[in-house]
Amino acid sequence: MEAKTVLLIAVPVLLVLAALLAVATTVSRQRSGTGSLTKEARKADRSEPGTAVATTDQSEEARARFAETRQSLEPAGAGRSVVSVGGGLIRFGEAPADPETLGVSRRKFFNRSIVAAQSLVLGSFGLAVIGFLWPSLSGGFGGKVKAGDIKDILTAINEKKLPFYVPEARAYINPYPESALPKAKKTYGESILPGMEAGVVALFQKCVHLGCRVPWCQTSQWFECPCHGSKYNRVGEKKGGPAPRGLDRFPVEVDAGQVTINTGIIVQGPPIGTNTTGQEAEGPNCV
Ligand code: FES
């Protein structure tokens, strides 16, 4: 998948996750409020410490019991909040805490800690994704890599009998013969064909068997993997070993003679048996 596409998917996903987190936080705050307290309890909580809220039971007996209990509890009342007596409430204790202090209950503290931890994880993940993709969007592996002038590249290949290696793209450029194009059009997809028609292929250096870097064998003029012996011809079509297909490759653009390799798109190598160029080993194998 192209790096830009990944970024276009990752950013909205992160925004949606952040929105969900914000909604969850709001709901959690509303639930942890004082909505479940009774009217009398809220009234007592707002009253001065040591004051009593009149009992709802106005009988003589209830009022006497209320007054007696208040008197007896008052010395031990410090540190207690509200005592319910005969349908009434007596409030003791220190001066009322300020609303800020009351607001940060233990439950709220844990809720906020969890939200903060989630935000931190989400934020770190988002930054990591963007950091990972950023160099790809501005060039380098994962983006479009300029390889140079096509004439210079083909001259260097012909003179040295070596593929033109582009380290930034982790790719080898090799010539693709014009005579093989009719066969190539039946085998390769539209993303790869323009490069072949311009006369080059850009092959990913990674072996499609288990991922070793595949070196060039100067004597056979093939790519030969030292790990388990897979072999690929000059244009990356499989010739032997355990590899399940030919070498993967990248689309190539040639504009005003300048070659650009698009490493944001990795195209799977051709299936076993593909042999569009008919190139056999030109000497002893290296592996
Ligand atoms: S990794 Fe190349 S043949 Fe196994």
Q: Residue 24: inside a domain, yes or no?
A: yes
| Residue 283: inside a domain | no
Which range in 58-62, 95-99, 178-182 is most confidently predicted, on average pLDDT?
Answer: 178-182
Q: Model confidence over 19-49: pLDDT tens digits? A: 787 777 666 656 554 445 556 555 555 655 4
Average pLDDT over residues 100-122: 75
Over residues 185-190, mean pLDDT: 96
At residue 241, the pLDDT reads: 98
How many residues can be counted in the chain?
287
Residue 13 binned pLDDT confidence (cut-offs 50, 70, 90): confident
Give the number of the atom of ligand 1 that is nearest the alpha carbon of residue 212.
1
Residue that is last in its domain, among 47, 73, 100: 100
Same structural domain for residues 85 and 190? no
pTM, to two decimals: 0.59
More confident: 176 or 89: 176
Query: Mean pLDDT, the chain, as a whole number?
Result: 81
Same domain, 198 and 237: yes
Asked if the model's pLDDT at residue 237 lies above 70, the reply is yes
Give the mutation target among 212, 213, 223, 248 for probing the ligand 1 site: most ligand atoms within 8 A of CB: 212
Residue, of 110 and 116, whose pLDDT is higher: 116
Task: Clarify whether residues 210 and 150 are in a common domain.
Answer: yes
Instruction: Based on the fold, state whether residues 232 and 185 are members of the same structural domain.
Output: yes
Do both 240 and 117 map to the same domain?
no
Number of domains making up the chain: 3
pLDDT-derived band at 50, boundaries 50, 70, 90: very low
pLDDT at 210: 98
In-domain check, residue 179: yes
Does residue 251 share a domain with residue 156?
Answer: yes
235 band by pLDDT with thresholds 50, 70 and 90: very high
Residue range of the domain that includes 110:
3-32+105-137
Q: Which of 261 and 15 is assigned the larger pLDDT? A: 261
- pLDDT for 220 equals 98
Protein residue closest via CA to atom 3 of ligand 1: 228
Burial of 100 (0-12, 13-18, 19+ CB in 10 A): exposed
Do residues 210 and 95 share a domain? no
How far is the centre of ligand 1, averaged over its atoms, from the C-alpha of 172 (Å)?
17
Whether residue 110 lies inside any domain: the answer is yes
Which one of 204, 217, 227, 286 would you pick to mutate in the ligand 1 pocket, going by the greatest count of ligand atoms within 8 A of its CB?
A: 227
Domain assignment of residue 208, yes or no: yes
Q: Within a domain: residue 229?
A: yes
pLDDT of 238 higher than 90:
yes
Mean pLDDT, range 236-251, rounded to an integer: 98
Domain assignment present for residue 89? The answer is yes
Please give all residues whose beta carbon lies within 6 A of any atom in ligand 1, as ranges: 207, 209-212, 225, 227-230, 241-243
CATH code of 163's domain: 2.102.10.10
pLDDT of residue 9: 72
Considering the domain architecture, whether residues 126 and 10 belong to the same structural domain is answered as yes
For residues 109 and 21, state if they share a domain. yes
The backbone region for 14, taken as left when phi is positive above 0, alpha when psi lies in -120 to 50, beta otherwise, is alpha
Same domain, 169 and 241: yes
Residue pLDDT, tens place only, 214-223: 999 999 999 9
Same domain, 187 and 155: yes
Give me ligand 1 centre to Cα 118, in Å: 42
* Ligand 1 center to 47 CA (angstroms): 80
Average pLDDT over residues 74-97: 53
Same-domain status, 132 and 27:
yes
278 within some domain: no
pLDDT (0 to 100) of residue 3: 53
